[in-house]
Copies of this chain bind each other. A is one copy, B any other.
């Protein structure tokens, strides 16, 4: 029988499978805290659309939302990215071996 890995990784990889969501994470990696409207500004999509993406990222634990009055501030939450990286590291030898073979 095959051991299944936790559904958490499903949510993480699924959340990362969208260029707008990756771009939101990238902005939060450059600016530690942004309101939803600040986050939405540079994107050529509607505010409800961005809020949906922010919801997906929050559900995956990739960002935290902090509500003060009418403004919601978002921050990057990197723990799921670390788990995804750990999963990927298992395969690292496959591309390093390939590069080694190309080098010879």
- Give chain A's interface residues, CB within 8 Å of chain B: 1-7, 9-14, 16-20, 22-23, 25-27, 29, 42-44, 76, 78-79, 81-82, 84-85, 87-92, 94-95, 98
Contact = CB atoms under 8 A, between A and B. Distances in A.
A43 B87 CA distance: 20
10 contacts: A1-B42, A2-B23, A4-B20, A5-B19, A6-B19, A7-B19, A9-B22, A10-B19, A14-B17, A85-B88
Copies in the complex: 2
Give 7 nearest A-B pairs by CB, closest first: A78-B94, A13-B17, A14-B17, A13-B16, A82-B95, A4-B19, A85-B88
| Chain A interface main SS type | helix
